[in-house]
Amino acid sequence: MYERKIPLSLNCGLDLIGEVLYGKWKVRLLWFINEGHKRPSELQRKIPDASRRVLTMQLKELEEHELITKKIYPVVPPKVEYSLTEFGKTLIPVIATLGQWGDEHEERLREVILKRNL
């Protein structure tokens, strides 16, 4: 069983957001589910750099944090779809604002990221 190396710190809103949204693909998963990409295979195609295992783990965490729901259809082979909860939908304007900020500062951000990684 997983045991945390660093104790939880939930003293402010940023700590809480970090606990729920930290994970390389979580913000993208929320965005793509909101856009209508609900099947795991669709999400995998939208994020090809992520392994299926990591996407599954991060989807499970988003589900545990009540941001998405998972519906399993009783067919063979099993069909799974994810959707945002009402709580999860409240994050979409925040994600959209962050994306807009990234678009507005794309050149500078790309420059500083590339400079750091040389």
pLDDT at 69: 97
pLDDT at 88: 97
Whose CA is closest to 96, among 21, 34, 20, 16?
A: 34
Whether the full predicted model's pTM is greater than 0.85, yes or no, is yes
Query: Can you say whether residue 23 is alpha, beta or left, with left for phi > 0 and alpha for psi between -120 and 50 degrees?
Result: left
Consecutive 10-residue averages of pLDDT for the chain (118 residues): 74 88 94 94 94 95 97 92 97 95 95 85
pLDDT at 2: 64
Residue type, 25: W
Contact 34, 4 (CB under 8 A): no
Q: How far apart are CA 95 and CA 32, in angstroms?
A: 11
Residue-by-residue DSSP string for 16-42 = HHHHHH-STTHHHHHHHHHHT--SHHH
Contact 80, 40 (CB under 8 A): yes
